[in-house]
Amino acid sequence: MRDSWRHFMAEFIGIFALVFVGGGSIMSATMSNLNPLLIAAFAHGIILAVAVSATMRISGHLNPAVTIAFLATRRIEPSMALLYIVAQLTGAAAAAYALKAVFPAGVAAATHLGGQSVSGDINMAQAILTEAIATFFLVFVVFGTAVDPSAPKVGGFAIGLTVTADILAIGSRTGGSMNPARSFGPAIVSQWFEGQIVYWVGPILGAIAAGLLYDTLYLRRGREPLSHGPVQPSP
């Protein structure tokens, strides 16, 4: 039971940091009349690199799409995957409530607490494909730098850089979520659910494709590396 709480809290704190810093960067940029895309890209990338590095010994997923990719490749047990996803969603919602508490109500309403939105000039299929491709890159890098036993020991640095690059590339199209929890937290608190199908379907499809491809081509079948902590609760 204690081991389950270690995993839960690592995921909760990590995603809380991502949503609070990522959403806060968008809200602050809006208040200052700065370019929110550029600021959001670097804020998300930096905080994710730090949060993944800080939590990867225990878990380090911080994203339901990543957890589902691990589940699809049998690198995490279903019960632990569910625990991770619950922690990610509750941590994201808690961060959105914190943003609501510390930013002016007008800014919170105008930015939907730093949530993402789909551009009006693309349809749902295009938006889902955009998120799927970006998440494919992200999860491929996760497997190539954090899962592969032969991976370079760069912590979360490469993962954070991938998120920054993805947001710079697709932020104007979909906001660059790549993470259902990152989009869910602000949506549930602001009660603004536009694009939620995009932010769930796209990242999950892209993550599964990347995980299965890397697992099939480059990795032997096995469990999550010991450096990520045990995948099952201790007896």
DSSP letters, the chain, are -HHHHHHHHHHHHHHHHHHHHHHHHHHHHHHHT--HHHHHHHHHHHHHHHHHHHHTTT----SHHHHHHHHHTTSS-HHHHHHHHHHHHHHHHHHHHHHHHHS-HHHHHHHTTT-----TTS-HHHHHHHHHHHHHHHHHHHIIIIISTTS---TTHHHHHHHHHHHHHHHHHH-----HHHHHHHHHHHT--TTHHHHHHHHHHHHHHHHHHHHHHH--S-PPPGGG--SS---
CA–CA separation, 95 and 11 (whole Å): 13
Return phi, psi of residue 89, to 5°.
-70, -40
**If you average pLDDT over residues 17-28, what whole number do you get?**
97
Q: Name the pTM for this structure.
A: 0.90
175 pLDDT higher than 90: yes
Predicted confidence at residue 125, as pLDDT, reads 97
Q: Which two tokens stand for residue 159?
A: 């993962």
Q: Which two tokens stand for residue 198?
A: 């995009």
Q: What architecture is the 2-224 domain classified under in CATH?
A: Up-down Bundle (1.20)
Mean pLDDT, the chain, integer = 92
Q: Which two tokens stand for residue 41?
A: 């890209």
pLDDT greater at residue 226 or residue 26: 26
**If you average pLDDT over residues 17-40, what whole number do you get?**
95
